[in-house]
Structure 1
Amino acid sequence: MELRLNGKTALITGATGDLGRVMAKTLAACGANIVVHYNSNATKANELKAELESLNVKAVSVQADITKQSDIEQMYKHIKEQIGEVHIVVANAVIQYEWTSIMEQNPEDYQGQFDSCVMQSVYLAKTFIPDMIARKEGRFIGINTECAMQNAPTQSAYVAGKRGMDGIYRVLAKEVGEHGITVNQVAPGWTISERDREAGSEINEGYSASVPLKRRGTDQEIANAVAFLASDLSSFITGAYIPVNGGNVMPAI
């Protein structure tokens, strides 16, 4: 059994980020054409585009502010002209900010998390799902977080945004399931990325001690879960929130 995405096109928002780059390369290795979305780093986006094309798939890079519906609609038009319809949407982009207590957190940070977690997903759904409905198939995948279940101190803005996102995905799964579209979430733990490898900061014994598998996960392991949900192997899975964190949080039945 092989996980193949030949003939499919995947849009990955925030594709130039630490996790996004590995997702893009993994889906491309499975045969998917890739839309590299970026907000400001055009150089990194074009470097990634060239790397993906070396894997014998089509790739395009496109800039958009994912918190603005007009930008996402313009991105859709550009993608349609350059590479065709999108079969797989991966909502990975999120606004970064400094975590602190609720008493000290800037109210704008809450708005930023709402816009980049909830409204990004709404705008992407409104823009890309109509084509999926017409085809009677599609994959809509959101990158959530284990923090949505942890609710630890200083996580309030992030948790608020991601828990709101979770609600959107669960409702959307019920609304579009009849059209053969699956809607799922991958929830990474504290993940090792290339940045950690370069800094030599892969090991954190305090965090790993709480994880049943006694280690941090890797960016590749997150990308593997995304690839599975993007493929036909996951055809009867929808509405799922899937932690990829070594068991650090466990949704209960």
Structure 2
Amino acid sequence: MISIDLSGKVALVTGGSGQLGRVMARRLARSGADILVHYHQNREKAEELVAELTGMGVRAAALQADVTDFESVMRMQREAAKFGDPDIVVNNAVIQYEWKNVLEQDNTDFYSQFDSTVMHNVYMFKAFAPAMLEKGAGKFIVINTECSMRCDPGAAAYSAAKRGLDGLCRSFAKEVGGRGVTVNQVAPGWMITERERAHGVTTSGAYVDSVPMRRRGCDEDIADAVLFFASPLSDYITGAYLSVSGGRVMPTI
């Protein structure tokens, strides 16, 4: 039986106190990784998760930063280094604005979406890649979305930023691949999360009808994909865009 053992590894999850971030952090911790939980404003939820992870037998700590501000990210890097330079960085945090048609969307929303998506990753690469490159090993796992390929009406600001993110990740993967660092993307569809489980899950409708598997995935499906890219099983994979959408998005050659 193949098992994934991340003992001795440190993983940092941005947006770790959020819906998807919490599940990713738990999955990595169950495989033995020590976890750095990034949060922006929800310190209470981050510390609650840290207590939970510590109870699982791994080390954990909460780190605050505004991922759209380079100095704030660099401050987080210095704090993280006291815990242990991350071997695995999951760039999950993002700000989503209300979806509107291009002619109706406020211009500032496009800039803000770019900041929280593309620049967030630029800053994280600049902050955490140097230590990985020095060690000759490291993994960046970037959360993209099916929207970057579908570009549906009303999703222009979000889709444009996520498409820019794809280009950034592919270029960076080529820049650092020869020095042992991989850069891969996980692209979720509309996933079921803790919030929906508490308030009612949508299991039918036009979205579900558009999914070849005729059902929605869940947060754990995303966490499993992240775990794969965090593990030695993916050591020879970089620059990948992995759709986790039940076939709603099928990247082609």
Same fold (TM over 0.5): yes
Report the counterpart of residue 10 of structure 2 in structure 1.
Answer: 9
Q: For 2:231 and 2:27, locate their aligned partners in 1 and report how far apart those are by CA, in whole Å.
A: 12
1:4-29, Cα deviation, whole Å (9 max, x unpaired)? 11110011000111100100000000
Is 1:101 aligned to 2:101, yes or no? yes
* Alpha-carbon distance, 1:209 to partner: 1.0
Report the counterpart of residue 162 of structure 1 in structure 2.
Answer: 162
Report the counterpart of residue 240 of structure 2 in structure 1.
Answer: 240
Q: For 1:202 and 1:91, locate their aligned partners in 2 and report how far apart those are by CA, in whole Å.
A: 27
Report the counterpart of residue 45 of structure 2 in structure 1.
Answer: 44
Normalized against structure 2, the TM-score is what?
0.98
* Alpha-carbon distance, 1:203 to partner: 1.2
Structure 1 segment 85-96 matched on structure 2, within 5 A: 85-96=85-96
Q: What SS does the corresponding residue of 1:6 show, helix, strand or coil?
A: coil
Q: For 1:96 and 1:15, locate their aligned partners in 2 and report how far apart those are by CA, in whole Å.
A: 16
* Alpha-carbon distance, 1:96 to partner: 2.4
Normalized against structure 1, the TM-score is what?
0.98
Is 1:18 aligned to 2:22, yes or no? no
Count of residue correspondences: 252
Report the counterpart of residue 186 of structure 1 in structure 2.
Answer: 186
Q: What SS does the corresponding residue of 2:26 show, helix, strand or coil?
A: helix
Report the counterpart of residue 138 of structure 2 in structure 1.
Answer: 138
* Alpha-carbon distance, 1:232 to partner: 0.3
Report the counterpart of residue 205 of structure 1 in structure 2.
Answer: 205
- Deviation above 2 Å: which 4+ runs of structure 1? none
Structure 1 segment 55-134 matched on structure 2, within 5 A: 55-81=56-82, 83-134=83-134
Q: What SS does the corresponding residue of 2:242 show, helix, strand or coil?
A: strand
Q: For 1:112 and 1:97, locate their aligned partners in 2 and report how far apart those are by CA, in whole Å.
A: 9
* Alpha-carbon distance, 1:73 to partner: 0.5
Q: For 1:205 and 1:53, locate their aligned partners in 2 and report how far apart those are by CA, in whole Å.
A: 40
Q: CA RMSD for the aligned pairs?
A: 0.7
1:41-87, Cα deviation, whole Å (9 max, x unpaired)? 11001000000101100001011000011001000111112x11110
Q: Which amino acid in 2 is paired with 1:212?
A: P
Q: For 2:81 and 2:235, locate their aligned partners in 1 and report how far apart those are by CA, in whole Å.
A: 25
1:212-253, Cα deviation, whole Å (9 max, x unpaired)? 111001000000000000010101110000000110010110
Q: For 1:71 and 1:141, locate their aligned partners in 2 and report how far apart those are by CA, in whole Å.
A: 20
Which segments of 5 or more consecutive residues in structure 1 lack a partner in the other structure?
none
Q: What SS does the corresponding residue of 1:182 show, helix, strand or coil?
A: strand
Q: What SS does the corresponding residue of 1:187 show, helix, strand or coil?
A: strand
Report the counterpart of residue 223 of structure 2 in structure 1.
Answer: 223
Q: For 1:210 and 1:128, locate their aligned partners in 2 and report how far apart those are by CA, in whole Å.
A: 38
* Alpha-carbon distance, 1:202 to partner: 3.6
Q: What SS does the corresponding residue of 1:211 show, helix, strand or coil?
A: coil
Q: Which amino acid in 1 is paired with 2:57?
A: N
* Alpha-carbon distance, 1:201 to partner: 2.1
Q: Which amino acid in 2 is paired with 1:35?
A: L
